[in-house]
Structure 1
Amino acid sequence: MAGLVLASGFFSSSETALFYLSRDDLRAFRVGPRRQRLVASLLANPDRLLTAVLFWNLLINLTYFAITIVLSRQIAADNTRFATAIPLLSLLGIILFGEVVPKSIAVVFRRRLATWLAWPLTIAVRTFDPIAPVFLVTTEFLHRVFWPHVTVEPALEADDLEQAVDNSARTTEVVIQERQVLHNILDLGEISVEEVMRPRGTWVTLPLPIHLQDLDAEAVETGFVVVGGDQDIVKSIIPLDHRASLPDTHLERLAEEVIPVPWCARLAPVLQRMRDTFSSAACVVNEYGDTVGILTHDDILDTILSPEPSRARRLLRREPIESIGGGRYEVQALTTLRYLSRRLKLDYEPDPEHQVTVNGLLQEQLERVPVPGDECLWQGHRIRVIEASGRGPTKVLVARDTDPLDDLSPNHSGGESD
């Protein structure tokens, strides 16, 4: 019976330890030692794992109580009082040492226990696999017999959720910040990956092998390093959000694979795919299969939690739009049109078929690489290039289209920046 209690405690602690692991834990386990990778593979199919654990735990508990009943009947012939106490003591023992204590320990030492229990748990799951289809068929049969008319409820439309959030403004149920976050979450279904991604040239790529001393300030600020020496090929990255735990050599062993996504994809399905695959980043490709950017999990979180999400502010680490008075603004060229319209309080929704940044808008309208002094009109505003590099504009001036911008100083009239 003691062995059955230990076996019950094993499966109880295994269930708690593995399912209590955070997403960051699982990301680290995917590129860790063999035992940790085994834990990640088990959790890749959580339904299979949970069904197997519950099956073995139930089987062990039934066997335990069956032995308890037999033992009580044998002792009852000689000592009735002791025989009556055996079931109560057995129940207390299985609850305390088979459930409560193992689960409590597993919560505290989940990472270590998950690694230790990976091999025996894998054997138990694979042993259960041949009989798993029987339980699946039985479950479907019982569902059809007892709940034949139960159907899946239709999902709420995004417009319905948006209306519910707007209606909450008339009450004190949701504060302003929370309401803004809810709006940002709903916007994930409308914002394209291209608006949030980090464009090429904004990250650090290092050839193999990669050591800690190779990381410079730019790599640390970016938050990740691309493995390999080619900017056009992004297969894996090394996250730097836990720099204190990085080894001194061979950081490529910590590399995580990125998932490819098209540039026109919406953030909502991309986020869901990243969560399903436990990926921390996605490689954004265009219609020719070329890498045009990288999207990280942190970029999406910034889009959700920031009151005014801005890729330009995230990359430049400063406000990309500065008011200079008189209804004029100096704007970084990589600023998205969505963010610019919010700052200018315009009713504007980006067209997925057109460019999403100020730089792209200028190139699309001029059909060439803009130079200082070039202008275009957009949403009742005049956009003039005031700084540019060899690859295009870096800063523009935005004003109402009724403002001729004739009084600009020499600093705003032209010239190329380095």
Structure 2
Amino acid sequence: MDRDQVLVLNAGSSSLKYQVVGPDGSVAVKGSVDRLTGEDDHARALAKVTEDLRRAGVDDERLVAVGHRIVHGGPRLTTPTVADDDVLKAVRNAVPLAPLHNPPALAALEAAMSWLDDVPHVVVMDTGFFADLPDHAATYAIDRDLARRHDVRRYGAHGISHEYVAARAAAHLGRDDLRLVTLHLGNGASAAAIDAGRPVDTSMGLTPLEGLVMGSRAGDLDPGILVHLARHEGLGTDALEDLLHHHSGITGLTGRSDFRDLEAGLEDGDDACRLAWGVYCHRVRKYVGAYHAALGGADAVVFTAGVGENSARLRADALAGLARLGIEVDAARNEADSKAVRAISTDTSAVVVLVVPTDEELAIADATRAVLHRGAS
């Protein structure tokens, strides 16, 4: 029996998504284990994955490799790499930079390496796409020696998704020289400026906390707020980290943790939801304008991920008032129910607005195969 399938494991802070992808991109089985609350849960969740694979008739002997999404690779782990002790150490060392995401990913990786110990395991970093950001975009204006000692720079995140949708947008428009503003909008959210396939800037920073408003993360905020709260509320570093990760963003403003609940509250006239919606859209609009300028003029704006792909109202409101930048959304196209790559801008819009479904698992599978191919050549 030929080994030709890649198992992709995408461990989030509270879920473990998986797919088995064939050499032609076909998906033999996919699913997720949700509502996980600890690192041990992710290891135990693999038992459910094993059961699902066997129920679907997927034989372990068909697996050529396992690809793993790692949110943060730190300063040195930047390209897809076969996991070994040094890789595990690098992922572990980057835990302080992604405390919600790296621990469960590491737990799933170690458990999977024990379960499937006869095939290579390849890690694909969400920070990797942004490893070569221009220095002026990657550098924070703090004491340079302090920054160097602690590897402080802009690392970004969601790079797997941004790179994937940028390539699909280029294929859809038949151009490889596009200047793109890509918007990955989900529970976690980020923006990127991409010129001819290479990143120019991105909104997430040293950690996945910076940038757009998110489900429970504030995104951009004055760092003086943290000093103020530490001094006057007595909040220590652990309490501040908990605030930033779990009690900010849409959750902090409304008490609602799901974007669909936010939209429902908006429909019901809830004042807190109305304010949160305005804050969310305002932040997206600011980044679109800023990256339009950073690119010297964008050719297209691309929406992707759960919110970006599914909320027509968000897309319309976030880009409202940008006609002077050449960005105009066609209401009928925007409201159309479709899962295809599609333009939702008017025929006269100077900047094309696209909705491009992301597929991080397929991108991870492709990157995993590329690593195996390099190793065999």
Same fold? TM cut 0.5? no
Instruction: Give TM-score, length-normalised by structure 1.
Output: 0.28
Rg: which structure is higher?
A: 1
Instruction: Give TM-score, length-normalised by structure 2.
Output: 0.30
- Structure ranking higher in helix proportion: 1
Relative contact order (C-alpha < 8 Å, sep 6+): which is higher? 2
